[in-house]
Amino acid sequence: MSNKTVYNKIFVLALPILAVILANVTVSLHLKSFCLIKLITHHDCWGCGLTRAFVALSHGQFQQAYDYNHLIIIFFPLLIIVWFFMLKETFDF
């Protein structure tokens, strides 16, 4: 097994942890919004609040996650499904 294959497997396994850490760091830094729709129109787009919703989910705050963005109930399960497909492809099961 090559090093590239081992690194790919480690990356796919660690992907959810990395995503949660990145989202938590992004929200904790209170960065200015980089949503082009919000910057131009001064209105929230359909994706505004999703990062905060994922962070709230990572802390077990389901109602707060739903309040940040209602689409979290669609996107979170989709991300889990995509991750399982990545696992299946990476580990050949």
pLDDT digits (tens, 9 = 90+) for 18-72: 999 999 998 888 877 778 888 889 888 899 899 999 999 999 999 999 999 999 9
pTM: 0.80
Pair 38, 48: CB distance under 8 Å: yes
Question: If pLDDT is split at 50, 70 and 90, which confidence band does 3 have?
Answer: confident
Burial of 19 (0-12, 13-18, 19+ CB in 10 A): middle
More confident site: 81 or 44: 81
Per-residue pLDDT at 31: 74
Distances (CA, A) of 76 to 7, 28, 56, 83: 25, 20, 12, 11
Residue-range domain boundaries for the chain: 3-91
Question: If pLDDT is split at 50, 70 and 90, which confidence band does 2 have?
Answer: confident
